Amino acid sequence: MKMQEIFEKMKNIAVYGMSANIAKAAHTVPGYMLKRGYNIIPINPNADTIMKQQVYRNIMDIPDKIDILNIFRPQEEALSIVQEAVERRKAKGDIKLIWLQLGLRNAEAKKLAEENGIDYIEDKCMYVEHKKVVEN
């Protein structure tokens, strides 16, 4: 799937590891997407709201449909997060794309996602990729 299609069709973005710290990319990148009309769903065990959005403790707690699961956690955690995402997809039929932010890669997580019909992007910044699409 092309980046333009992703940003045109996928509007519900769950952010695993979204931060309340305004100095972190895990805050500014989802904030950028929120300002551009995307539905941002924070996942963070240490906050109740971030950017006036209800925060969830895990993927299964989210009542809304998830199109993209954007991961801001260390790459060692990616496999267990993708395992959660696969369980969610089996239960609820959503999560079309898993996106690991810039600098994050995990071959096992990628293989698991793709074996379960979930598109997978790694080592790319959603902010940078969105800007490329809207500026072209």
State the alpha helices, DSSP H only, in the chain.
Answer: 3-9, 25-35, 78-92, 107-115, 126-135
Q: How many domains does the chain have?
A: 1
Q: Whole-model pTM?
A: 0.96
Q: Retrieve residue 87's tokens.
A: 């369980």
Give the pLDDT confidence score for residue 128 in this predicted structure: 97
Per-residue confidence (pLDDT) for residue 65, from 0 to 100: 97
Percent of the chain with pLDDT over 70: 100
* Whether residue 7 has pLDDT greater than 80: yes
pLDDT at res. 104: 95
Q: pLDDT, tens digit, for every residue of 62-109? A: 999 999 999 999 999 999 999 999 999 999 999 999 999 999 999 999
- Which single residue is written with the structure tokens 């993927």? 59
**Structural domain for 81, as ranges:** 3-135
Compute the distance between CA of residue 12 and CA of residue 10 in angstroms, rounded to an integer: 6
CB 17 within 8 A of CB 26: yes
CATH of the domain at 24: 3.40.50.720
